[in-house]
A and B are shown apart, each in its own frame.
Chain A
Amino acid sequence: MNYEFDFSFLGEYGQDLWDGTLLTLWMTAVSIIPGFVVGTACAVGRLYGPPWVRKAATVYVEAIRNTPLVIQVFWLFFGLAVLSVRIDAFYAAVIALVINVGAYTAEIMRAGFESIPKGQIEAASCLALSRWQSLLYVQLPQAVERVYPALVSQFILMMLATSIMSQISAPELTGVAYQIQAFTFRGFEVYLVIAVIYLAVVTLLRAILTGLGKVIFPRRRRLGTPL
Chain B
Amino acid sequence: MLGLSPEHLLFLLRGAGWTIVLSLLGFVGGTIVGLPVALCRSSKMRSLRVVSSAYVQLVQGIPLPVIMFVVYFGLSIGGYELPALVAAGIAMTAYSSAYLGEIWKGCIEAVPKTQWEAAECLALTPVQRFVDVILPQAVRIAIPPTVGFLVQIVKNTSYSVVIGFFDLTYSAKVLNNSTFKPFTVFTIAALLYFVICYPLSVLSRRYERKLKRA
Contacts and interface: CB of A to CB of B under 8 A. Distances in A.
Query: Is there a contact between chains A and B in the complex with CB atoms less than 8 Å apart?
Result: yes
Interface of A: 1, 3, 62-63, 65-72, 74-75, 78-79, 81-82, 160-164, 166-167, 174, 177, 181, 187-188, 191-192, 194-195, 198-199, 202-203
27 contacts: A1-B79, A3-B78, A66-B194, A66-B197, A66-B201, A67-B194, A68-B156, A70-B169, A72-B190, A74-B172, A75-B182, A75-B186, A78-B182, A79-B182, A82-B180, A161-B63, A164-B159, A164-B162, A166-B65, A174-B63, A174-B66, A181-B73, A191-B69, A192-B70, A195-B62, A195-B67, A195-B70
B62 A199 contact: yes
B64 interface: yes
Interface in B13-54: none
Interface residues of B, number: 42
**Secondary structure dominating the interface of B:** helix
B136 interface: no
Contacts of B70: 188, 191-192, 195
Interface in B56-95: 58, 60-67, 69-70, 72-74, 76-79
A162 B61 CA distance: 13
A195 B66 contact: yes
B197 A191 contact: no
B158 A68 contact: yes
Contacts of B189: 71
A66 B78 CA distance: 36
A198 B187 contact: no
Nearest to A5: B77
A203 B58 CA distance: 11
B66 A66 contact: no
B158 A188 contact: no
Nearest to A199: B61
A8 B13 CA distance: 44
Scoring A3, A65, A67 by chain B CB atoms within 10 A of each residue's CB, the highest score goes to A67
Interface in B156-214: 156, 158-159, 161-162, 169, 172-173, 176, 180-183, 186-187, 189-190, 193-194, 197-198, 201
